[in-house]
Structure 1
């Protein structure tokens, strides 16, 4: 505690020191500045009713409700936050999900398990946070299919904030049920479950 007071610029504090009001205020200001420096902006709420900065550090109920109301905000998330969002959405659908490391992810972003009858289905998911006009191409489908085979997973799942090219859809049909494609409209459907009723 004494070290914290010193970092806040309060000198000559001892274990028996009686702290006055100005010293408490200095400490509170220091703690507040630490908290503010660690906060990361995820998105801005520009609606006329609340034209203020909304700060969210985790994928929480507030962010999910806001995304349910305005799903286009997924385009404002950074790629890692989008991966965390997809992980949360899948967890809430009954999957056990693990995020891979940011670097050297091995060709997939999420490793998931889901109970299907007496067995566990293992899936790999690749998250592509693209702008709406930037479609996910066939090479991503082929890449995840190859990783799914190598890892001996039951399913490869690609989730995007965009859509897929015609070639990507055709490749998915050729591969069959080992690959599934989820695009922006699917994300909107998943997010609608978090709408506030009333």
Structure 2
């Protein structure tokens, strides 16, 4: 097992700052009054989406895509193989032609719907990726099916977060004031709220490209190869940790459902790595002014940790780790370490075997 070389330590914060940082990154437990209040509001928000007219809902998704920088086209209903919206992502690195299907569902979306969308993607000569958006949730089978495929699943809680992040607060005005009915006074439908993943955003300064990766661990060992989430494996088998592209102005983004992480997992390690596959001479030397931002939920203030710059002697860098305590809460520790051998070395350090070929 390779040992990681220490990059350098951050200056120790004073006691008050350290306590504030730990509280910022600590997830509220389900039995707190504050969390119950947020949950009630989230129910109303999802109810409002579920009560929307189908065409209006598709138009909302199209507007969201435009706000994310895409060129968008609404398709003719029932004439495009189940595709509701088409978009062109102009990002030079991760862009492409996106097909989107939206489902205003109250119950969990079936795996067959996900497989059908994949079939549509395979038979569409212009499309390079697909997105399935729902007001409900997806099960573990769906998340496992899309692993390694150019498909993104966005559940209701994630959709609420994306809409708010991109300024669509007016959609949820009735929920903000605790209204029990829809915009026209009708009774809102019942809805089961999916757990809301946290958004773990990585920012840095400069034009260099870096990737974010996560290892779901028990102690200092990853649970399995499938619990390494990176550019070649976009999700854990249960979907509790996933890569997300095109999230606002973030350079990179992980969606983490801390409540859905495996029971045996007690650590989540976050790593940044240079893209040495496409740029063999790349190092962490251009990783300047990095900041790790945790957005715990749509209605909670983000927490920010400013990290030390990368070093040109390394091609990957451990940014820190989340640890689960005995009470089930997760705390973050900015534990920096450099890896001259890149993500390959970082993976080996956490007990995974790597085929050098």
Q: CA RMSD in A?
A: 2.1
More helix by share: 1
- 1:166 and 1:78 mapped to 2: Cα distance? 29
Q: CA deviation at 1:97?
A: 1.0
- 1:159 and 1:118 mapped to 2: Cα distance? 23
Change (3 A) 1:136 1:119: closer
Indicate which of 96, 103, 106 corresponds to 2:81: 106
1:78 to 2:69 alignment = no
What secondary structure, in the 3-state scheme, does the structure 2 residue paired with 1:96 have? Answer: strand
- 1:81 and 1:98 mapped to 2: Cα distance? 14
Alignment partner, residue 117 of structure 1: 92
User: Which of 1 and 2 has higher RCO (CA within 8 Å, sep 6+)?
Assistant: 2
Structure 1 or 2, whichever has the larger Rg, is 1
Change (3 A) 1:118 1:164: closer
Alignment partner, residue 64 of structure 2: 89
5 Å-filtered alignment, 1:133-148, equals 134-148=107-121
Unaligned runs of 5+ in 1: 1-66
Alignment partner, residue 178 of structure 1: 150
Change (3 A) 1:104 1:187: same
Q: CA deviation at 1:182?
A: 0.4
Q: CA deviation at 1:158?
A: 0.2
Alignment partner, residue 154 of structure 1: 128
- 2:109 and 2:62 mapped to 1: Cα distance? 20
Count of residue pairs brought into register by the alignment: 125
What secondary structure, in the 3-state scheme, does the structure 1 residue paired with 2:90 have? Answer: strand
Aligned partners of 2:46 and 2:135 also within 8 Å: no
- 1:181 and 1:149 mapped to 2: Cα distance? 17
Alpha-carbon deviations, 1:126-167, whole Å to 9, x = none? 000111xx1111111111111111113110100000001222
Alpha-carbon deviations, 1:91-140, whole Å to 9, x = none? 11101111111222322111110112178510100000111xx1111111
Kindly report structure 1 stretches of 4+ aligned residues shifted beyond 3 Å: 69-72
Change (3 A) 1:169 1:120: closer
- 1:79 and 1:177 mapped to 2: Cα distance? 28
Q: Return the TM-score normalized by structure 2.
A: 0.33
